[in-house]
Amino acid sequence: MGVAGTDQPAVAVTEHRFAGARALVTGGASGIGLATAEILAREGASVVIVDRNAHRASSEATRIDAIPVVADLADPDRVTGAVAEASAGLGQPPTLLAHCAGIYEITALDVLEAAAWDRTLTINLRAAMLVGRALRAALGTGQPASFVFVSSMAARTADRHEPAAHYAAAKAGLLGLVRQMAVEWGPSTRVNAVSPGVIETPMLRLTDDPLAARRYLDARVPLGRLGTAGDVARTIAFLLSDAAAYITGADVPVDGGATIT
C-alpha cells in the first residue's frame, strides 16, 4: 500500500472492564466496528454484531464468540428487529452501543444525485437515530447505558480532493443528534461520539495513491501516520467504560491531529 499505520493490537487485554456487560456493535463485521467488537468481547462483554453482510457477520461472530444479527439499517423495521434479536440473544437488552455502521461515497456536489444524498443520509444519520431510539426503548428510561456513535473529521473539515457533501452533512448532523440524545436521555444514558480522521479501513480511498497519501500525512497529520481501526476502537471502548462515567455529549477526534492543522 505504501503508507501504513503502526498500531498496538486492537484486542490487547489488560483488564476486564466489560465483565458481565451486554454490547451491541453495528457495522460489527469489519473495520472499526469489528475492532470494537473484539475489544468488548475480549474484555468480558457479551457482544452482538449487526451487519448487512450475512457471511461476514457469521464468520467474524464465530471467531470472536459473539452473536451475529443480519440487518440492513436503512430499513426502519429491521432496526427494530435487530435490537429485538440482540436482546433475545443476550437475554436482556444491551446496555452498551457502538454504532459504527456507515457508507462513504465520493461524488462532486455538482453531480450528486438526490438518490445518493438520501441513501447516505438514511444510512449514516437516520439509522443512528433509529438504532439509539430502539435500544433506549428496549432498555427503559431508568437502565444505565452508554452509547457511542462514529462520526468523522468530515463533520468539521471540507475536502476538495475527495468531495462527499452528503457524507459530511450526515456526519455533522450526527454530532448534533448525539448532543440532543445526551440532553434528552440523561442522566441514565450517556451518549458520545468519536470523529475518526484518515483511518486504514476498507472504506479508505486516499491510499489508492500511495504518494498522495504520503504527501497528505506529511502536510496534514502531525502524528505522521494513518490511523487504524484499533486506534478508534480503543477510544470507543474508553467512552463506553466506567472510566468515562462523567462524559456525555462529547465528540472525541481520533485523527492524529489532522483537524488542528
What residues are annotated to the active site? 167
Radius of gyration of the chain (CA): 17
Grid coordinates given for 229: 481501526
Closest CA to 178 of 155, 153, 147, 141: 147
Grid coordinates given for 80: 427494530
Q: Are 169 and 150 in contact (CB under 8 A)?
A: no
Within 8 A by CB and 6+ apart from 162, the residues are: 106, 205, 206
Q: CA angle, 203 as apex, 50 and 29 as ends, to 5°?
A: 20
